[in-house]
Amino acid sequence: MTSIIEIRHYQSAEGGRTSTVPKPISKTTKPVRRKSRAAAPSLPYEDSLIESLKDRNEAAAYLEAAIEDGDQAVLMLALRHVAQAQGGVAEIARRAKLTREATYKMLSKVGNPALSSLTAVLAATGLRLSVKPVEKRQQKATATKLAGTKTIKAELQAA
């Protein structure tokens, strides 16, 4: 079996010398043409997201989900989406009495807003920051179990 060798000539940077480098080419492998599966075109989601975030209840749920995610970049992106839905970042900056540049920087992926700036932006969008206790699954399960035990005891005493 013979193999085909292609000789390539390379010219040096000085332009004087050329060298030949053998490059083996296999006869057994051919380029495989694969049928490409074109992905179904996706619809842009931001327009419908911004439209839904005009409702303050939707905006509050969206921000709460972003906070639960625990990633600050996700929260800043969510705040930016809410700001866009509530009139745009420049309008929110004006209502919050912040500079437009500072607001854009604050709502960037690397934004690190001060609490006063964050509450001002939230207030400008008609929202506020609130704190509630975390319910752990064990505490919830224990409370449910205790309530069930008390109910059974009350039923036994009544009988």
pLDDT of residue 136: 74
- What are the tens digits of pLDDT across the range 43-72? 788 889 999 999 999 999 999 999 998 899
Write the burial class of residue 49 (CB in 10 Å: 0-12 exposed, 13-18 middle, 19+ buried).
middle
What's the confidence (pLDDT) of residue 34? Answer: 65
Q: Domain boundaries in the chain?
A: 55-124
- For every residue of 85-145, DSSP letters joined together read HTT-HHHHHHHHT--HHHHHHHTSTT----HHHHHHHHHHTT------PPPPHHHHHHHHH
Q: Tell me what the mean pLDDT of segment 81-104 comes to.
A: 94
pLDDT band at 145 (very low <50, low <70, confident <90, very high): low
- What one-character DSSP code corresponds to residue 45? S
Q: Which of 31-40, 54-63, 132-141 has the highest average model confidence (pLDDT)?
A: 54-63
Per mean pLDDT, which range of 20-24, 81-85, 99-103, 106-110 is the poorest?
Answer: 20-24
Share of the chain above pLDDT 70, in %: 60
